Amino acid sequence: MTWRPKEKICSRRRSDALINGEGESSGRRPGDTSLGKMSSIKQVINDAVEKGKEVYEKVRQPNPIRLRDLIRQIRSAKTAAEERAVVNRECAYIRLTFREEDSVWRCRNVAKLLYIHMLGYPAHFGQMECLKLIASPRFTDKRIGYLGAMLLLDERQDVHLLITNSLKNDLNSSTQFVQGLALCTLGAIASPEMSRDLAGEVEKLLKSSNAYIRKKAAVCALRIILKVPELMEMFLPATRSLLSEKNHGVLITGVTLITEMCRQSPDMLSHFKKIVPNLVRILKNLIMAGYSPEHDVQGVSDPFLQVKILKLLRILGCGDSEASETMNDILAQVATNTESSKNVGNAILYETVLSIMDIKSESGLRVLAINILGRFLLNADKNIRYVALNTLLRVVHADNSAVQRHRTTIVECLKDADISIRRRAMELCFALINGNNIRTMMKELLAFLEKAEPEFKASCSSKCVLAAEKYSPNVKWHIDTLLKVVQAAGNHVPEDVVSSSIQLISEARSEQPYAVGELWRLLSVAQMEFQPLIQVATWCIGEFGDILLSGQSDVTVVESELIAVYQQILWSSQCSITTKEYALTSLMKLSARLNHEIGSIQQVVSAFGSHLNIELQQRGIEYSQLFTKHSHMRGPLLERMPPFEGTKAGREEGKAALTNGIDSSPDNQALLNDLTTLNNNTNDSYESNALLDLLGGMEPGDGDKVQPTNTVTTGVTPIVPAAPSSNADILDLLGGLDTGPTMPSAISNVNITVAPNQLPSNGNASFLLDGLLNNSTSVTSPVTSLQNFNNISSPVSQQSSIPGINAYDKNGMKLDMTFEVQESLTTINMQATNNTGSQVTDFLFQAAVPKSLQLQMLNPSSTTLAPSGTLSQVIKVNNPNKVALRMRIKLSWTANGSQIQDQGEISNFPPALWQ
Amino acid sequence: MMQFMLLFSRQGKLRLQKWYEAHPDKVKKKITRELISTILTRKPKMSSFLEWKDLKIVYKRYASLYFCCAIEQEDNELLTLEIIHRYVELLDKYFGSVCELDIIFNFEKAYFMLDELMVGGEVCETSKVNLLKAIAAQDLLQEDEIVEMALRDMGLI
């Protein structure tokens, strides 16, 4: 026993380690007298036998090493390779003995194999040996055999047919422990076929006079009805009598079996309603009976049984007032009498609370239950606090006012050391927010948000915004809250928070001076880890810069300061492109609001004409046009956006969603997302109207090129353009679009016919349009702005921006591809050119794409190619997930009488196809 | 119902595995690996529960050994801690202040013990006395067999 280490699993120094108070058991070992109750005479014989056995083992050669020695060898291996070597050597040896049908050492070898299996090595070759051991008459063999069967087999293996027979024999054995082994194995690995074959035996054993067998048979019956529900009827008569038992093992398994039956079948449920009084009596006896050492766990009498009974009561009492009435008293008794200082008592209280909340219990009892959970929250044990929050979260919608009473405790849990407790507490806090407590709750949540782990920040800030929208006492408070959220969550602020903040400020005319002043204050000190804050601030300052400069807000700003801050943002390498887009447009807007610094704005803006990012470059070029050639239009174009009034309805619905449940279940999130999209869609239509307005003037002048129509599909009253004179100037801008074929493009919101073209100057003009649109859509989430982008400007900009590729150029065959993108559908126009110098026939082009994409190939224009001739084929690829496009291709053709075959992969598709 | 129970050391070595739901070997290994690494990285101030797929994982450390159980949503996690504790108590009674090495070298005994406490993922005996009696009786049966076999081999009977 020298290998016994110092560290005991069960140390008696600490009170939480096992066995409080009864730790006086000495260091007895199995095999000592304590175990087998062997008389000393037997011991002497045994020793003699052991000696004899050793002699005997020496005679037999070769002897397999003992399990203990193998374990020691494996443990002494210094490296993984060494361990592998030991294991492989032993496995080879074990296989050999299996092959030689060595039955003397089979048991030992299988045991060794099981150890090897636990280390993660394959051991399936031991399956048959386990079956042989099971079939052996010796108990030792059976014990290891069944253990091996449970470890190496499961219900999906063919050998089951073989084991079913052995199980049948052993279930009928005269030794209870052999029967026990068989039952235990059946319980662990029963397959549907085995269940059917052995259900009869199990049913017989369920009526056995031996409690040891009866309890195991009950669990087997449970497993059998889980696998084959229609066998339930068969066990019903025997099950009923299980409840009149004294033996706790039989009682607990009986209750478990009935619970499963009730859960599976409504008939069983109504059948077992009548046992409620029995269950109540058993439970009462458990609580009332004095100390019984046999079933006591830290002063509680058989908590395992109590919990099972409580669970069954819950199922029986659910939705049944009569049954609920019967169990009302006992539940109250358990709830008040159970000792709550230890985990075990709390386990019972926890189960009781669940039962009280699920059945039709009296309101007083429900309050009692929630108060138990409230007490749990104050418990020093983190596990109990966790369970309490989880349960409160489950019942908060049913009994909100009762839970409200524990609000302060719940809020305290936001500061808990355990992250999962904090998460639960946060969810619960959001569920508890209402019009009366919003100010205090939001204060706590903002404090939490500030210190929270990054993983919390996004969801927490979104929920803060929703709650503020729903319950904010006034607009100023609302704005303040949103700004605080954006500040506290830093870069983790999701897009929807940015857009709701902007929306709110845009709507709240009276608070704009305050908001802009506040944002300016924040912006001037903002760090780069507050990108969303910068976005909100620049948007608002761009829109309402004049308010800021007029001194209506309580801050005074000098124009040059303003420009300096913008320069810092625009030139910072840490700022994201999105933020720079916001800032650049905002700066442009400011050029119509400032009086003196227009020159420096122009300087900054035109510098972006050569920016590396194409989006910013476009903006730079477009905007600088407004300083030079078209400067007379700058004022009207950069007018203030109308407030986003169209979003109210969407937000109302958002509120409805909020009341439905604050839990962050994916469903709910999806719903919220949908609503956000809805919001933004409403926005779109509004903006489309603005666009119509903007483009209105073009109709009379150049109807060919730009045709705004009144069809607005999203159901907002179409605005008939009034053609303000200044807007008519856009015609000038678009006037150059006279080259190139006119390609009508269906746009979901507005039908505009824009001439697509390749000329750069015209490109600019269309980009300007695009820019204006994007400018107005900058408040929407990226998804919608992308949509907008696609909807309105894609036919122009994407065509010109997606370059074609050369997909293949070998063996005199050249394949070129050009692309058209519409939403997720990419249309590839493939053109094959024959450079072989001779006639090509039987041209065949095949392609395959990754699984997430769908490919459709249209017929080629021809299968023969004259020298230098071409053919074309259209390939359509649907890419709903926007994954990177790759394509495997296979080509074959016949030239000069010989067939040429080739294949390859195209991976140089332009990323613009899926971005 | 308990889905499975794993015992592993602080070094992440598996010491015992009991599966009450059938999974292919590969899946079992994957689950084991995942859970061991998740649990070993958890800090002591965290609760003993974690949500994992649609199961609740309940674990508790006893000295160098972690006991980890996967239970279903409607199961009581606090009571599962008691089941674990009961198992440890039984091992302790049986081995006499049990330590990790007892379980390594007598893993089959640890399995036998667990099989008496639980069948098919459900507790089937709540009396410690009955449990230890049953185990002792079975051990005795084995020893009697050894005696008998040895005597027969030596030609005494």
> pLDDT tens for residues A198-216?
999 999 999 999 999 999 9
Q: Is the confidence at residue B138, as pLDDT, over 80?
A: yes
Instruction: Give the whole-angstrom CA distance, residue A339 versus residue A665.
Output: 35
Residue A690, classed as helix, strand or coil, is: helix
Instruction: Give the model's confidence band at A742: pLDDT under 50 very low, under 70 low, under 90 confident, else very high.
Output: very low
Under 8 Å CB-to-CB from A130, ≥6 apart: which residues?
A110, A144, A145, A146, A148, A149, A152, A153
Q: CB distance from A216 to chain B under 8 Å? A: yes
Q: How far is CA A328 from CA A204, A323, A333, A340, A361, in A?
A: 37, 9, 9, 20, 6
Instruction: Give the whole-angstrom CA distance, residue A141 versus residue A704.
Output: 94
Q: CB distance from B63 to chain A under 8 Å? A: yes
Instruction: Give the model's confidence band at A241: pLDDT under 50 very low, under 70 low, under 90 confident, else very high.
Output: confident
Instruction: Give the whole-angstrom CA distance, residue A537 versus residue A543.
Output: 10
A494-553 pLDDT, tens digit each: 888 888 888 888 888 888 888 888 888 888 877 777 888 889 888 988 888 888 888 776
Residue A749 is predicted with a pLDDT of 38
Instruction: Give the model's confidence band at A324: pLDDT under 50 very low, under 70 low, under 90 confident, else very high.
Output: very high
Highest mean pLDDT among A91-95, A559-563, A846-850, A885-889: A91-95
Residue A693 is predicted with a pLDDT of 40
Q: Is the confidence at residue A4, as pLDDT, over 60?
A: no
CB within 8 Å of chain A, chain B residues 30-59: 45-51
A5 to chain B: which residues are within 8 Å by CB? Answer: 99-101
Q: CB distance from B88 to chain A under 8 Å? A: yes
Min Cα separation B82/chain A (Å): 7
Instruction: Give the model's confidence band at B18: pLDDT under 50 very low, under 70 low, under 90 confident, else very high.
Output: very high
Q: Average of pLDDT values for A6-13? A: 50
Residue A157 is predicted with a pLDDT of 62
Q: Average of pLDDT values for A643-656? A: 49
Whether A183 and B126 lie within 8 Å, measured CB to CB: no
B4-13 pLDDT, tens digit each: 999 999 999 9
Instruction: Give the model's confidence band at B129: pLDDT under 50 very low, under 70 low, under 90 confident, else very high.
Output: very high
Of A601, A595, A602, A604, the closest CA to residue A628 belongs to: A602
B108 to chain A: which residues are within 8 Å by CB? Answer: 111, 114, 143-144, 147
Of A500, A495, A594, the closest CA to residue A544 belongs to: A594
Q: Which residue carries 């090897």 as its tokens?
A: A116
| Side-chain half-sphere exposure of A63, counting CA atoms within 13 A | 13
Q: CB distance from A29 to chain B under 8 Å? A: yes
Under 8 Å CB-to-CB from A471, ≥6 apart: which residues?
A433, A434, A435, A438
The first and second tokens of residue A716, run together, are 């907002």
| Of B64, B122, B154, Cβ closest to residue A52 | B154
B99 to chain A: which residues are within 8 Å by CB? Answer: 4-5, 7-9
Min Cα separation B21/chain A (Å): 8
Type and span of the H or E element at A661: none
| Of B63, B76, B120, Cβ closest to residue A9 | B63
Q: Tell me how many degrees the CA angle B42-B44-B48 measures, rounded to the nearest 5.
A: 70
B24 to chain A: which residues are within 8 Å by CB? Answer: 156
Residue A710 is predicted with a pLDDT of 39
CB within 8 Å of chain B, chain A residues 702-721: none
Residue A401, classed as helix, strand or coil, is: helix
Residue A7 is predicted with a pLDDT of 55
Q: Average of pLDDT values for A784-796? A: 37
Q: Between A73 and A717, where is the model more confident?
A: A73
Q: Average of pLDDT values for A136-161? A: 85
Whether A49 and B86 lie within 8 Å, measured CB to CB: no
Residue A816 is predicted with a pLDDT of 86
Instruction: Give the whole-angstrom CA distance, residue A252 versus residue B127.
Output: 11
Instruction: Give the whole-angstrom CA distance, residue A181 versus residue A167.
Output: 9
Chain A nearest-CA residue for B47: A383
Average pLDDT over chain A, rounded to whole? 77
Q: Average of pLDDT values for A273-286? A: 92
Q: Average of pLDDT values for A878-904? A: 82
Residue B123, classed as helix, strand or coil, is: strand
Whether B89 and A18 lie within 8 Å, measured CB to CB: yes
Q: Average of pLDDT values for A585-598? A: 84
Q: Average of pLDDT values for A420-427? A: 89
Instruction: Give the whole-angstrom CA distance, residue A645 versus residue A649.
Output: 9
Instruction: Give the model's confidence band at B116: pLDDT under 50 very low, under 70 low, under 90 confident, else very high.
Output: very high
Q: Between A54 and A288, where is the model more confident?
A: A288
A613-642 pLDDT, tens digit each: 888 898 888 888 888 888 888 888 888 888
A-to-B residue pairs, Cβ atoms closer than 8 angstroms: 253
Min Cα separation A304/chain B (Å): 7
Sheet-wide strand order for A898-906: A840-848, A887-895, A898-906
Whether A71 and B104 lie within 8 Å, measured CB to CB: yes
Instruction: Give the model's confidence band at A860: pLDDT under 50 very low, under 70 low, under 90 confident, else very high.
Output: confident
Contact status, residue A114 vs residue A82, Cβ threshold 8 Å: no
Residue A671 is predicted with a pLDDT of 40
CB within 8 Å of chain B, chain A residues 381-400: 382-387
Helix axes A512-525, A531-550, angle to 10 degrees: 130
Across A172-181, A507-516, A642-651, least confident range: A642-651
A339 to chain B: which residues are within 8 Å by CB? Answer: none
Q: CB distance from B27 to chain A under 8 Å? A: no
Q: Which of A1, A2, A6, A10 to mutate to test the interface with B (most CBs of B within 10 A)?
A: A10
Q: CB distance from B15 to chain A under 8 Å? A: yes
Across A343-352, A478-487, A594-603, A695-704, least confident range: A695-704
Q: CB distance from B130 to chain A under 8 Å? A: yes
| φ and ψ of A606, to 5 deg | -70, -25
Residue A667 is predicted with a pLDDT of 42
Instruction: Give the whole-angstrom CA distance, residue B108 versus residue B85.
Output: 19
Q: Tell me how many degrees the CA angle A672-A677-A680 measures, rounded to the nearest 5.
A: 130
Strand A840-848 to A887-895 pairing: antiparallel
Burial group, residue A24, by CB count within 10 angstroms (0-12, 13-18, 19+): exposed
Whether A3 and B154 lie within 8 Å, measured CB to CB: no
Across A393-402, A663-672, B1-10, B128-137, least confident range: A663-672
A297 to chain B: which residues are within 8 Å by CB? Answer: 82, 86
Residue A272 is predicted with a pLDDT of 93
B27-82 pLDDT, tens digit each: 999 999 999 999 999 988 889 999 888 899 999 999 999 999 999 999 999 999 99
Q: Which of A2, A9, A186, A393 to mutate to test the interface with B (most CBs of B within 10 A)?
A: A9
Whether A147 and B74 lie within 8 Å, measured CB to CB: no
Q: Between A64 and A310, where is the model more confident?
A: A310
Whether B63 and A183 lie within 8 Å, measured CB to CB: no
Where b means 16+ CB within 10 Å and e means fewer, A129-153 reads bbbbbbbbebbbbbbbbbbbbbbbb
Q: CB distance from A159 to chain B under 8 Å? A: no
Chain B nearest-CA residue for A39: B140
Q: Average of pLDDT values for A643-666? A: 44
Chain A nearest-CA residue for B103: A9
Instruction: Give the model's confidence band at A5: pLDDT under 50 very low, under 70 low, under 90 confident, else very high.
Output: very low
Instruction: Give the whole-angstrom CA distance, residue A64 versus residue A113.
Output: 12
Instruction: Give the model's confidence band at A271: pLDDT under 50 very low, under 70 low, under 90 confident, else very high.
Output: very high
Contact status, residue B105 vs residue B49, Cβ threshold 8 Å: no
Min Cα separation A5/chain B (Å): 7
Q: Between A706 and A220, where is the model more confident?
A: A220
Type and span of the H or E element at A288: helix A276-288
Q: Which of B115, B135, B154 to mutate to test the interface with A (most CBs of A within 10 A)?
A: B115
Under 8 Å CB-to-CB from B13, ≥6 apart: which residues?
none
Helix axes A454-471, A648-660, angle to 10 degrees: 110
Residue B91 is predicted with a pLDDT of 95
A758-770 pLDDT, tens digit each: 333 333 434 444 4
Dihedral of the alpha carbons of A547, A552, A555, A561, in degrees to the nearest 10: 30
Instruction: Give the whole-angstrom CA distance, residue A342 versus residue B119.
Output: 27
Q: Which of A18, A253, A427 to mutate to test the interface with B (most CBs of B within 10 A)?
A: A18
| Of B101, B123, B125, Cβ closest to residue A5 | B101
Instruction: Give the whole-angstrom CA distance, residue A440 versus residue A311.
Output: 38
Whether A297 and B107 lie within 8 Å, measured CB to CB: no
Min Cα separation B124/chain A (Å): 5
Residue A760, classed as helix, strand or coil, is: helix
Q: CB distance from B119 to chain A under 8 Å? A: yes
The first and second tokens of residue A453, run together, are 């782990």
Q: CB distance from A724 to chain B under 8 Å? A: no
Q: Which residues pair with B7 in a beta bridge?
A: B16, B67
Q: Is the confidence at residue A303, as pLDDT, over 90?
A: yes
Q: Is the confidence at residue A798, as pLDDT, over 50?
A: no
A212 to chain B: which residues are within 8 Å by CB? Answer: 130, 134
Q: Which amino acid is at A551?
A: G
Chain B nearest-CA residue for A355: B74
Q: Which amino acid is at A420?
A: S
Whether A387 and B77 lie within 8 Å, measured CB to CB: yes
Q: What is the pTM of this model?
A: 0.67
Residue A905 is predicted with a pLDDT of 84
A448-492 pLDDT, tens digit each: 998 888 888 888 988 998 899 889 888 889 989 988 888 888 888
Contact status, residue A708 vs residue A752, Cβ threshold 8 Å: yes
- What is the ipTM, given to two decimal places? 0.96
The first and second tokens of residue A841, run together, are 């026939």
CB within 8 Å of chain B, chain A residues 291-320: 294-295, 297, 302-305, 307, 311
Percentage of residues in chain A with pLDDT exceeding 90?
28
Residue A530 is predicted with a pLDDT of 84
Residue A911 is predicted with a pLDDT of 80
Whether A180 and B134 lie within 8 Å, measured CB to CB: yes
Q: Is the confidence at residue A252, as pLDDT, over 90?
A: yes
B92 to chain A: which residues are within 8 Å by CB? Answer: 9-10, 18-19, 25
Residue A643 is predicted with a pLDDT of 77
